[in-house]
């Protein structure tokens, strides 16, 4: 498994740390560079890591959708009780 994706990932983490701790305008440039480096590291990552991240994202998205749906049903129940 090639580990070349770790170079832009480490760069993204370092510039992200710089972005978090700086208040100058250069911090915005560092933030953009960190985002680009992070995306590049995801593109260069092996398919096993990409597949694992995809599964994690799908599970988290499903949970968030279920929580949002349950909140919406509770809100509609409260509104219908207030109307009656």
pLDDT of residue 1: 67
pLDDT of residue 8: 87
pLDDT at 59 over 90: yes
For the segment 8-23, what is each residue's pLDDT rounded down to a tens digit? Answer: 888 888 888 888 888 7
pLDDT of residue 16: 85
Alpha carbon distance 43, 41 (integer Å): 5
4-13, 33-42, 50-59, 67-76: least confidently modelled range: 67-76
Average pLDDT, the chain: 84
């Amino acid at each position: 498994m090639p580990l070349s994706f770790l170079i832009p990932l480490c760069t993204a983490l370092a510039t992200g740390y710089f972005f978090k701790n700086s208040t100058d305008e250069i911090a915005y440039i560092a933030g953009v560079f960190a985002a680009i480096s992070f995306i590049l590291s995801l593109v260069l990552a092996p398919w096993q890591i990409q597949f694992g991240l995809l599964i994690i994202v799908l599970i988290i998205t499903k949970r968030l959708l279920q929580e949002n749906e349950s909140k919406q049903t509770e809100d509609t129940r409260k509104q219908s009780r207030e109307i009656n």
